[in-house]
Amino acid sequence: MTLPFPSLFVSHGSPMIALEPGETGTFLQHLGRTLAAGWGRPRAVLAISAHTTARAALLLGAPRHEAVYDFGGFPPALSALRYDAPGDPALAERLGQTLALPVVEHGGLDHGIWTALRYLIPAADVPVIPLTLTPHASPAQLMALGEQLQGLGADGVLVLGTGSITHNLRLLMRSAVTGTAAGDGVPEMPESAAFRRWFAERSAARDWPALAAYRAQAPHATLMHPTDEHLLPWYVAAGAGGRDHAPLRIHEGVTFGCLGMDAYAFGPQAGALQDALAHADARADTPADAPAAAS
């Protein structure tokens, strides 16, 4: 029997991750292979990103989605990349009825979605249904929206939130002057490290009130998120996993010293995914001619 999918939040960072995967792109490839091996092929991906927003939540139910190049000032090679995935209008309509959400026959995958999916599902052969983000909504409201998505993982639908665990463009541009194009060689700001650590600790403790009030309680919250649209998809994915299970950080990293690239898994399968990722890492680190352990 197919295992229920955990819901996920991944940090996509700069659009340049599509050309320069770095540690996070490599992790996303690893994550995609681990999910395929242990959980199989998703029936569909329900994706919510910092970059597809609307005044109210709605589902994009087009039969086909193309990559949207919603950025500027990057190398032409970035806009030459393709990620054209099918949609699933019938499933979108069913979800819309279940969730009491409108469904519009509109297509397109913003860069937060397609840059992550090109590593997670490189064949672009799994239907995608984008769910718009309402950036004026509170974390608690988005948690409640996510809670309506509980059970989708058991139905073969992978709920994927994509943003960045920290995101301050002013700091990013300043740090990019001293770093490489991939963001290497820039030490992490203490404020970024403190914020990421607080978020991971509060998640492990299932401290939902503190997480919902992160702007008031997390260290350096307004510096790390002058606006919080890049963090808000985390709350939808967390709600889809349910409050009974601690969010688990399954990847941590930072580029340009201030752009957090952490990833989280949620729900009853989060621990199994964390273990599967660790075991795959251990196998990769073991030389092919290493002697087998004695039983």
DSSP 138-197: -HHHHHHHHHTTTTTGGGTEEEEEEE-SS--HHHHHHHHTTS-TT-TT-PPPHHHHHHHH
Q: Which stretches of the chain score pLDDT less than 50? A: 180-182, 286-295
CATH architecture of 7-283: 3-Layer(aba) Sandwich (3.40)
73 vs 88: CA distance, rounded Å: 33
| Backbone φ/ψ region at 64: left (φ over 0), alpha (ψ -120 to 50), beta | beta
Q: What is the pLDDT of residue 231?
A: 98
What does the domain layout of the chain look like in residue ranges? 7-283
pTM: 0.93
* Encoded tokens for 245: 């299970």
Nearest one of 159, 137, 114 to 15, comparing CA atoms: 114
208 vs 118: CA distance, rounded Å: 32
